[in-house]
Amino acid sequence: MDRQAVATKVYQFLLKQGKPAIGADGGCLYQAPDGCRCAIGCLLPDDHPLLSSRPSKTIGTVLGLDPFLKKVLGAKSWPDQYFLTDLQGAHDSAAGDMLAVEGEVWDQVLQQRFRKLTNTWGLEMPCSGS
Let me know if residue 13 belongs to a domain.
Answer: yes
Position 106 in a domain: yes
Helix axes 106-121, 78-100, angle to 10 degrees: 150
- pLDDT, residue 5, reads 93
Measured between alpha carbons, how far is residue 105 from residues 72, 80, 102 in Å? 31, 29, 9
Show the domain range for 73. Answer: 3-121
Q: Is residue 130 part of a domain?
A: no
Determine, yes or no, domain membership for 126.
no
Q: Is residue 65 part of a domain?
A: yes
Q: Is residue 129 part of a domain?
A: no
Residue 113 lies in a domain: yes
Number of domains in the chain: 1
pTM above 0.75, yes or no: yes
Write down the mean pLDDT value for the chain.
Answer: 84
64: helix, strand or coil: helix
Please return the burial class of 129, using the count of CB atoms within 10 Å of its CB with bins 0-12, 13-18 and 19+: exposed
**d(Cα 43, Cα 19) in Å, to the nearest integer?**
16
List the pLDDT tens digit at each of the 130 positions of the chain.
Answer: 889 999 999 999 999 999 998 888 888 888 888 999 999 889 888 888 778 766 655 666 666 667 777 777 778 888 888 898 899 999 989 988 877 765 568 889 999 999 999 999 999 999 886 5
